[in-house]
Chain A
Amino acid sequence: MNSKTIELSKERWARVDELFDKAQPLERGEQAAYLDSACADDAELRDYLLALLQSNPAIDATIENTIVETINLAFGEGDPHADDMKGEMIGPYRVERLLGTGGMGVVYLAERADEQFDQQVAIKLGRHRLVDPQTELRLRSERQILSDLDHPNIARLLDGGTTRDGVPYLVMEYIDGMRIDTYCDLHRLTVVERLRLFQTICAAVHSAHQNLVIHRDIKASNILVTADGTPKLLDFGIAKLTDASGAATDGLTREGAVIMTPANAAPEQILGKTITTATDIYALGLLLHTLLSGFRAYETDDLTPSEFAHIVCQQDTMRPSQRLQQERLIAQTSSDPCVLQTLERIASDRRSSPERLQRRLRGDLDTIILNALRKEPERRYRSVSALADDIGLHLRWMPINARADSWRYRTSRFVRRHYAAVSASVLVVALLATFAVLLSMQNRIVVKERDTAREVSRFLEDIFMAQDPAQARGTSITAEEILASGASRIQGDLTGRPEIQSALMGTIGRVYFNLGEYEPSREMLEQALQLRLQTDGESHANVAVAGNDLAETLIRLADYERAEDLLDRSLTINRQESGAYSADVAKNLFNLAELHLKTGELDEAEAFASSSIDIYTQIDSGYSIELAEAKNMLARILQVRGDLDRTEELLLEAIDIVTTNEGANHPLMAYYLQNLGVLQRSKGDLQAAEDTLDRAIEATRRILGDKHHLLAATLINKGTLLHARGDYDNAERVMRDALSLHIESRGAGHPMVAYDMTLLGMLLHDQSELSAAEDMLRRALVIYGEALDDEHQYTASALTELGAVLNSAGRLAEAQTLLERALQIREKDYPSDHELVAGTRTEYADTLSRQGRFDDAEALLLQSIDALRDRPGRRQTRANEALTRLNESAGQTITDQ
Chain B
Amino acid sequence: MTSAPTVTTLLQDWRSGDADALDQLVPLIYDDLRRIAASHMRSERSGHTLQATALVNEAFTRLAEANASFQNRAHFFAIAARTMRHILTDYGRARRSQKRGGGVAPVALDEDRVASPASADIVDLDDALQKLAKIDDRKSDILVLHFFGGMTYEETAEALNLSAATVDRELRLAKAWLANELEDD
CA distance A307 to B67 in the complex (A): 10
Contact A71 B41 (CB under 8 A): yes
Residues of B within 8 A of A55 (CB): 175-177, 179-180, 183
Contact B118 A258 (CB under 8 A): no
Near B by CB (< 8 A), chain A positions 50-87 give 51-53, 55-57, 59-77, 81, 84-85
B102 within 8 A of A: yes
Residues of A within 8 A of B125 (CB): 63, 66
Contact B97 A262 (CB under 8 A): no
B4-46 vs A, CB cutoff 8 Å, 1 = contact: the mask equals 1111100000000000000110111111111101100110000
Q: Which of B1, B28, B88, B185 touches A262 (beta carbons < 8 Å)?
A: B28
Residues of A within 8 A of B92 (CB): 70
Contact A52 B177 (CB under 8 A): yes
A62-B182, A67-B88, A258-B23 known; A89 and B175 CB under 8 Å? Answer: no
Contact B135 A9 (CB under 8 A): yes
A127 within 8 A of B: yes
A71 to chain B, nearest CB (A): 5
A1-37 vs B, CB cutoff 8 Å, 1 = contact: the mask equals 0101100111001001100110010000000000000
Q: Which residue of A lies closest to B51 (CB)?
A: A68
Contact A13 B136 (CB under 8 A): yes
A272-284 vs B, CB cutoff 8 Å, 1 = contact: the mask equals 1000000000000
CA distance A737 to B88 in the complex (A): 88
Interface of A with B (CB < 8 Å)? 2, 4-5, 8-10, 13, 16-17, 20-21, 24, 51-53, 55-57, 59-77, 81, 84-85, 88-90, 95, 105-106, 125-129, 163-167, 169, 257-263, 270-272, 300-301, 304-307, 309, 313
Residues of A within 8 A of B51 (CB): 67-68, 71
Main secondary structure of the interface of B (DSSP, over half): helix
Q: Which residue of B lies closest to A85 (CB)?
A: B102
B145-185 vs A, CB cutoff 8 Å, 1 = contact: the mask equals 00110000000000000000000010011011111111111
Contact A59 B52 (CB under 8 A): no
The 8 closest A-B pairs by CB, nearest first: A167-B101, A127-B94, A65-B119, A55-B179, A59-B179, A75-B37, A163-B101, A74-B91
CA distance A105 to B35 in the complex (A): 19
Q: Which of B1, B93, B102, B122 touches A66 (beta carbons < 8 Å)?
A: B122
CA distance A56 to B185 in the complex (A): 14
B114 within 8 A of A: no
How many A-B contacts are there with CB distance less than 8 Å?
218
CA distance A65 to B29 in the complex (A): 23
Q: Which of B27, B37, B94, B97 touches A258 (beta carbons < 8 Å)?
A: B27
Contact A71 B178 (CB under 8 A): no
B71 to chain A, nearest CB (A): 16
CA distance A759 to B109 in the complex (A): 96
Residues of B within 8 A of A261 (CB): 31
Residues of B within 8 A of A77 (CB): 38, 41-42
Q: Which of B8, B104, B120 touches A306 (beta carbons < 8 Å)?
A: B8
Contact B119 A95 (CB under 8 A): no
Residues of B within 8 A of A64 (CB): 48-50, 52, 147
Q: Which residue of A lies closest to B31 (CB)?
A: A262
A69 to chain B, nearest CB (A): 5
Contact B102 A89 (CB under 8 A): yes
Q: Which of A9, A17, A164, A167 touches B173 (beta carbons < 8 Å)?
A: A17
In the assembled complex, 10 residue pairs joining A and B whose CB atoms fall closer than 8 Å, in A order, are A53-B176, A59-B175, A59-B176, A67-B84, A67-B147, A68-B51, A81-B95, A127-B93, A165-B100, A167-B100
CA distance A611 to B16 in the complex (A): 70
A62-B118, A305-B29 known; A270 and B4 CB under 8 Å? Answer: yes
B63 to chain A, nearest CB (A): 6
Residues of A within 8 A of B120 (CB): 62-63, 65-66
Beyond A66-B125, A73-B91, 12 additional contacts (C-beta under 8 Å) are A5-B180, A17-B173, A70-B88, A76-B37, A76-B41, A89-B102, A165-B97, A165-B103, A167-B100, A304-B7, A306-B7, A306-B67
A21-B173, A77-B38 known; A62 and B135 CB under 8 Å? Answer: no
A74-B91, A301-B35 known; A4 and B180 CB under 8 Å? Answer: yes
Q: Which residue of B lies closest to A56 (CB)?
A: B179
Q: Which residue of B lies closest to A309 (CB)?
A: B4
A303 to chain B, nearest CB (A): 9
Contact B52 A73 (CB under 8 A): no
B55 within 8 A of A: yes
Residues of A within 8 A of B93 (CB): 127-128
CA distance A261 to B34 in the complex (A): 12
Q: Which of A57, A65, A88, A272 touches B48 (beta carbons < 8 Å)?
A: A65
Contact A263 B31 (CB under 8 A): yes
A95-B102, A125-B102 known; A305 and B32 CB under 8 Å? Answer: yes
Contact A2 B103 (CB under 8 A): no
B98 within 8 A of A: yes
CA distance A867 to B104 in the complex (A): 93
Contact A69 B119 (CB under 8 A): yes
B65 within 8 A of A: yes
Which of A5, A68, A126, A263 has the most chain B CB within a 10 Å cutoff? A68
Q: Which residue of B lies closest to A57 (CB)?
A: B179
A299 to chain B, nearest CB (A): 13
Q: Which residue of A lies closest to B182 (CB)?
A: A62
Q: Which residue of A lies closest to B20 (CB)?
A: A254
Contact B176 A21 (CB under 8 A): no
Which of A20, A84, A261, A304 has the most chain B CB within a 10 Å cutoff? A304
B180 to chain A, nearest CB (A): 5
Residues of B within 8 A of A127 (CB): 90, 93-94, 97-98
Contact B35 A67 (CB under 8 A): no
Q: Which of B32, B63, B175, B184 touches A60 (beta carbons < 8 Å)?
A: B175
Contact A128 B97 (CB under 8 A): yes
Residues of A within 8 A of B33 (CB): 75
Contact B66 A307 (CB under 8 A): yes
A66-B120, A307-B66 known; A272 and B5 CB under 8 Å? Answer: yes
Q: Which of B52, B109, B175 touches A67 (beta carbons < 8 Å)?
A: B52
CA distance A848 to B26 in the complex (A): 72
Residues of A within 8 A of B8 (CB): 306
B42 to chain A, nearest CB (A): 8
CA distance A313 to B95 in the complex (A): 35
B111 to chain A, nearest CB (A): 12
A229 to chain B, nearest CB (A): 31
Contact B184 A4 (CB under 8 A): yes
B179 to chain A, nearest CB (A): 4
CA distance A73 to B103 in the complex (A): 21
Residues of A within 8 A of B103 (CB): 88-90, 163-165
A171 to chain B, nearest CB (A): 13
CA distance A59 to B34 in the complex (A): 26
Q: Which residue of A lies closest to B25 (CB)?
A: A305
Residues of B within 8 A of A309 (CB): 4, 6, 28
Contact A5 B48 (CB under 8 A): no
CA distance A128 to B97 in the complex (A): 6
Contact A129 B101 (CB under 8 A): yes
Contact A85 B183 (CB under 8 A): no
A538 to chain B, nearest CB (A): 39
Q: Which of B50, B117, B181 touches A5 (beta carbons < 8 Å)?
A: B181
Residues of B within 8 A of A313 (CB): 4
Residues of B within 8 A of A81 (CB): 95, 112
CA distance A458 to B119 in the complex (A): 87
Residues of A within 8 A of B50 (CB): 64, 67-68
Q: Which of A17, A167, A263 touches B97 (beta carbons < 8 Å)?
A: A167
CA distance A68 to B5 in the complex (A): 31
A56-B183, A271-B2 known; A20 and B176 CB under 8 Å? Answer: yes
A67-B52, A75-B38, A166-B101 known; A258 and B26 CB under 8 Å? Answer: yes
Residues of A within 8 A of B49 (CB): 64
Residues of A within 8 A of B41 (CB): 71-72, 75-77
Which of B2, B38, B55, B99 has the most chain A CB within a 10 Å cutoff? B99
A61-B48, A167-B101, A259-B27 known; A74 and B88 CB under 8 Å? Answer: yes
B7 to chain A, nearest CB (A): 5
